[in-house]
Amino acid sequence: MSSASAQLSHDEIAAALIRTYSKAEARQMNPLTLAYIGDVVYSDYIRRYLVAEGLTKVDRLTKRSVHFVRASAQAKAIRRMLPELTDEERAIVRRGRNTKSMPPKHAEVMDYRYATGLEALFGYLDLTGSRERELALMTRAIELTDD
């Protein structure tokens, strides 16, 4: 446990877990921080979708989820969704895409950068409490990558 979390009271920890940030606060965050949150948000939606499809075997769930969460699939989704995004959303994607980070060996650099942009967008939407928009874009991303 880090010293920062050890200093927080029970109520402070609970408040941190459900905090909603203003759009201005979220725009000030490092795009990789947004992508860090967006990665888990995106993966959670995919897992829920697959369970709703009726998949129950963990090995099948894992294999099927990779189809959606790999960099190439996320890049495909965000490239196709760009015209549907607001200017503000495109700016978040651009910031995430332009952030310098090392892609894994198995991912194409541009796919990885676009995937980071998509994850930054989902992190931004989640942290700002934009659930309706988050759900609409997640639904669209699934439609674009479920082939």
Residue 14 tokens, joined: 């609970």
Q: What is the pLDDT of residues 62-79, one digit of tens each?
A: 999 999 999 999 999 999
pLDDT at 144 over 60: yes
Q: For position 107, what pLDDT does the model report?
A: 80
Residue 17 tokens, joined: 């877990």
83 falls in which pLDDT band (50, 70, 90)? very high
3-state secondary structure of 70: coil
Structural domains of the chain ordered from first start: 20-145 (1.10.1520.10)
3-state secondary structure of 145: helix
Q: Could you tell me the end-to-end alpha-carbon distance of the chain, in angstroms, rounded to an integer? A: 42
Q: For position 73, what pLDDT does the model report?
A: 97
Taking alpha carbons only, the member of 129, 111, 144, 141 closest to residue 42 is 141
Q: What is the average pLDDT across 111-133?
A: 97
pLDDT at 133 over 70: yes
Q: What is the pLDDT of residues 23-66, one digit of tens each?
A: 999 999 999 999 999 999 999 999 999 999 999 999 999 999 99
Which one of the listed residues 39, 59, 87, 111 is annotated catalytic? 39
Give the separation between CA 24 and CA 115, rounded to whole angstroms: 23
Reply yes or no on whether 39 is catalytic.
yes
Give the separation between CA 88 and CA 95, rounded to whole angstroms: 11
Q: For position 3, what pLDDT does the model report?
A: 54
Q: For position 111, what pLDDT does the model report?
A: 94
Q: What is the pLDDT of residues 101-121, one digit of tens each?
A: 777 777 899 999 999 999 999
pLDDT at 2 over 60: no
4 falls in which pLDDT band (50, 70, 90)? low
Residue 43 tokens, joined: 């993966």
Q: For position 95, what pLDDT does the model report?
A: 97
Which residues have C-beta within 8 Å of that of residue 1, sequence separation ≥ 6? none
